[in-house]
Chain A
Amino acid sequence: MDGSIGIWLAIAAMTCAAVFAVLIPLSRRTDTAADARDVEVYKDQLAEVDRDAAAGLIGPAEAEAARIEVSRRLIAAAERAGASGAAGEGMSRRRRIAAIAAIVVVPAIAALAYGLRGQPGYPGQPLAERQRAAPQQSDVATLIGRIEAHLATNPEDGRGWEVVAPVYLRMGRLPDAVRAYSNAMRLLGVTADRQADLAEAQTIAAGGVVSAEAKAGFERALALGPGHPKAGYFLGLASEQDGKPEEAKARWTRMIGEAPADAPWLGLLRSEIARLGGTAPAAAAPAPQATPGPAQIRAMVDGLAQRLAADGSDFDSWLRLVRSYVVLGEGDKAREAAASARRLFAAEAEKIARLDSLVNELGIGGS
């Protein structure tokens, strides 16, 4: 039942059916004479009294009294049945009113009530169909489908889990990602990378909060591979979330000091330190590399962008967003964000000046 024509046809057909449910009995003649059904019941009760008396369930004298009782009801019922059936006048008028109610009022009420909330133009979105519909998604979907089928029969294949885990993470199937990472780690053995990936997935699944479990995971990862950048970054984030931003800054600053000069994540750490109101050590600051950042940065940046789209009054957040886009290597978006901020704060010369200096510093000017 696709398309808007289909839904209107269905609505029309259903309305017709409803109207006919009323019209058909109205068009039939019904006789009232068959209304003596209680007589049947009392006749049966008389027989029942006899049965009870035979079984000794009621004394003979009581049975006689009961028989009289029931007979009285029987006579009354028979009289009532004879008396009814004298209600002719006004029938055709009433029938006409009922018919009009069926044809006009029933569809009108339906249309009114449906009109309040209905969205007839919005077709259903079954998951399978949607995955078929979007082409680039369908590649991923079929790929995942194949891996999932494979894993269903070979759940002990750690490689499969390892392949599918980051895909889940990117698709936002976070619990599945956590499951896949933990399976990969269980089957292939614990390494610093796997441990850190699992904890990262747990953190993203928890909405960006580094839980105690995830924190323990990052600590294990750091123990296995000292200086593991992802673990270090998140442990800093955990300190910040614990209300110890100084500790976070210290950790990140230490990491920058120990890092090779061309490490791709230096930019991220610098902007994070700046966010906490510190200054990064002025080591040889290379231009941020245009490599896509890890998924967690992506998630946080998207969240920030959404927040600002809803409420753009926080100027410092705008600066952070511009910087983050540059870190992610998305110059266009950075320029877009800078332009939005410029529009919003056009009246405040001091802020515009800060924005300009940032744009110059990041080398995304020229717009």
Chain B
Amino acid sequence: MSPEIGHYALVLGLALALFQSVVPIWGSRKGDATLMATAPSVALGQFVFVTLAFAVLTHAYLVSDFSVENVYLNSHSSKPLIYKISGVWGNHEGSMLLWVVILTLFSALVALFGRNLPLSLKANVLAVQGWITVAFLVFILKTSNPFARLAPAPFEGRDLNPLLQDVGLAIHPPLLYLGYVGFSMSFAFAVAALIDGKIDAAWARWVRPWTLVAWIFLTAGISMGSYWAYYELGWGGWWFWDPVENASLMPWLAGTALLHSAIVMEKREALKVWTVLLAILTFSLSLLGTFLVRSGVLTSVHAFAVDPERGVFILAILVAFIGGSLALYAWRAPLLKQGGLFAPVSREGALVFNNLFLTASCAAVFVGTLYPLALETLTGAKISVGPPFFNWTFGPLMVPLVIAMTFGPLVAWKRGDLLAVAQRLTVALVVGIAAIAVTYAVTTGGPVLAPLFVGLAAFIIVGAMVDIAERTQLFRAPASVSFARARGLPRAAWGTAVAHAGVGVMLLGIVGETAYKQETIVQMRPGDSVQVAGYDLTLQALVPVQGPNYRDLVARLQVREGGVPVGMMEPAKRLYTARNMPTTEAALKTRGVSQLYVSPGDATADGSIAMRFFYKPMVLLIWIGTLVMMLGGLLSLSDRRLRVGAPKPSARRAAAVQAAE
């Protein structure tokens, strides 16, 4: 198959996106149903063409078609199949193409499943999606064409960056992009509503599933990325406050705030203006993240200057979309009618509190990430804002947030009684204090504050259970009644409880990892042993191993617990031959939810090797916590109310057939 087909498909996608940007919105202004009804079909067409382009590029990778420059630069004929596939998005051009594939995927999903949306809203939403698609397709075709050709075609490719040859890379970017781009839906809904000048509780309900989907994927993407950094980079950390990580954390924080403020809007029609602003800001932060990662500003402001075309282009997209939507907001938002009133102590109040702290923490991350860049651009001074800054700004904001998070779901709408809620949370409080006491008794050393955080985590988890127990009248009514009530409970209520419990689980993991980890660095020769946290590790041998496109020096370590062998650990120093690039392959051994972590240093000529050993108690809870949070999101997504307003499909289809005849 010729790569040219992919190129042409991409160009057709652009032509259709242009049509979609103009005609449906024109129809909506004129009240012309026929023009509005072109949007879904055109959106589907776009998705098909852009996906075809992606498929053609993937095919070129699979057959090692080095006449495509992108394949030549990022693939190698002897690379394992999975990395040939993941290599498609392991580079700038391919990953931007994936970005647009996902963008059109979301448009297509609205076209297919947005039957419950009013025609005009749907047309406007798809038109706004069309604008974003046009901007990014022009960007790709102009500055980052993945179908650029090489003649004559070289016989061998240059191989993918070894750090990226990992299963983590195969999954992480698509998930992250599904999250980033998913928030374009909230953005499109917000802008469409501003154009229409009509925004109400129904709008909040329609936008909710899309926000939830984006949030779930973004959570998954960040979590995967963190785990990938943990085991692949070999530094033993799971979060570095690295600008690239922050770039994904900011939309997550704003998106989480959006998710919660939309609840208030849906139930009470309050916080309208704020919710629309959050929707715009969340996607703006997603765009900013794309800009930071893709323009090269992060490696250095100078890298940006070396190849300014891409950076300036994304910056222009950024300015146009953020500036344009904020201008539209400034113009239209005053027209929006305010909704219901509520007392400060109420469910609404709790959610406002949540929004306040989430946006404040997002602002802290924003400043910490962008201030050094701005300073370097303006004055040329290079400073680095490290983890201490984030720990001292982000951390203190999170503590009141998670405490309030436990209270929130128990407070009544409109006007609540904090004292009554506190009484109902007595059990959680008792468990929390017990957890603190036990932690003090059991552990030696570690920071003084750590047991308090263990208690907080226990409080959060039990508090989430209390919420469900209260709603089902567990232990107060007969078991059968509680069971029936549990089944009758809206899925969204389950979702809240599960997601909040997930935060507690994650907090537990974070405390365990940061406060109680043990670490030692040893220079070892074969036969040497080292003791870490009750485990004996013996270096049996250093063995060279030949892989498909790399050479390994594997350190074989026998692990014993109390003298009993519990398995082997085989970390390695790896050299990728095509790029002559060394990497460190850390070895992990899971014991319950804790892990042993071994990262090898360089072997010296005298046959010894430096090894770094960690024992990380409860570290897996960090990622298990995020999984629990995602499960909560999924439960909430399955709530029946999100499907309300969808006309019976069978009746509609019959009508459509009649109309066509």
* Residue in B closest to A116 when the chains form the complex, CB atoms: B141
Residues of chain A lying within 8 A (CB to CB) of residue B645: 37-38, 40-41, 44
Stretch in B63-71, B171-179, B296-304 touching the partner: B63-71
A17-B45 contact given A34-B647, A48-B641, A109-B18, CB 8 Å threshold: yes
Residues of chain B lying within 8 A (CB to CB) of residue A206: 580
B338 interfacial by beta-carbon distance below 8 Å = no
B12 touches A57 (CB 8 A): no
B window 141-165: CB within 8 A of A: 141, 145, 147-149, 151, 153, 155-156
A124 touches B32 (CB 8 A): no
Per-residue contact bits, chain B 17-42, to A (CB 8 Å; 1 contact, 0 not)? 01100010011001111111110111
A58 interfacial by beta-carbon distance below 8 Å = yes
B14 interfacial by beta-carbon distance below 8 Å = yes
B202 interfacial by beta-carbon distance below 8 Å = yes
* Residue in B closest to A205 when the chains form the complex, CB atoms: B580
A114-B38 contact given A21-B16, A37-B645, A73-B269, CB 8 Å threshold: no
A107 interfacial by beta-carbon distance below 8 Å = yes
Q: By DSSP majority rule, is chain A's interface helix, strand, loop, or mixed?
A: helix
Residues of chain A lying within 8 A (CB to CB) of residue B41: 21-22, 24-25
B5 touches A22 (CB 8 A): no
- CB A133 to nearest CB in B, in angstroms, measures 12
Instruction: Give the residue among A14, A18, A87, A101 with the most B Cβ atoms within 10 A.
Output: A18
Per-residue contact bits, chain A 162-205, to B (CB 8 Å; 1 contact, 0 not)? 00000000011101101100010000000000000000000001
Contact partner of A110 (CB less than 8 A), chosen from B11, B33, B151, is B11
B412 touches A62 (CB 8 A): yes
Stretch in A88-96, A217-225, A259-267, A327-335 touching the partner: A88-96
A114-B414 contact given A22-B41, A44-B645, A98-B35, CB 8 Å threshold: no
A101 to B660, CA, bound (A): 23
Residues of chain B lying within 8 A (CB to CB) of residue A40: 116, 644-645
Residues of chain A lying within 8 A (CB to CB) of residue B18: 105-106, 109
A32 interfacial by beta-carbon distance below 8 Å = yes
Contact partner of B37 (CB less than 8 A), chosen from A28, A37, A73, A114, is A28
B window 321-368: CB within 8 A of A: 339-340
B7 interfacial by beta-carbon distance below 8 Å = yes
B414 touches A65 (CB 8 A): yes
A21 touches B578 (CB 8 A): no
- CB A219 to nearest CB in B, in angstroms, measures 15
Residues of chain A lying within 8 A (CB to CB) of residue B77: 127
B49 interfacial by beta-carbon distance below 8 Å = yes
A149 interfacial by beta-carbon distance below 8 Å = no
Q: Kindly list 14 other residue pairs between chains A and B, CB separation below 8 angstroms, not including A22-B16, A55-B471, A110-B8.
A: A28-B37, A41-B645, A52-B413, A66-B268, A98-B23, A105-B19, A110-B15, A113-B11, A113-B141, A122-B151, A124-B1, A125-B66, A175-B549, A206-B580
5 A-B contacts (beta carbon < 8 Å): A25-B40, A94-B35, A110-B14, A125-B153, A130-B155
Chain A contacts to B: CB under 8 angstroms:
1, 6-7, 10-11, 14-15, 17-18, 21-22, 24-26, 28-32, 34-35, 37-38, 40-42, 44-45, 48, 51-52, 55, 57-59, 62, 65-66, 69-70, 73, 77, 84, 86-87, 90-91, 94-95, 98, 101-102, 105-107, 109-110, 113-114, 116-120, 122-130, 155, 171-173, 175-176, 178-179, 183, 205-206
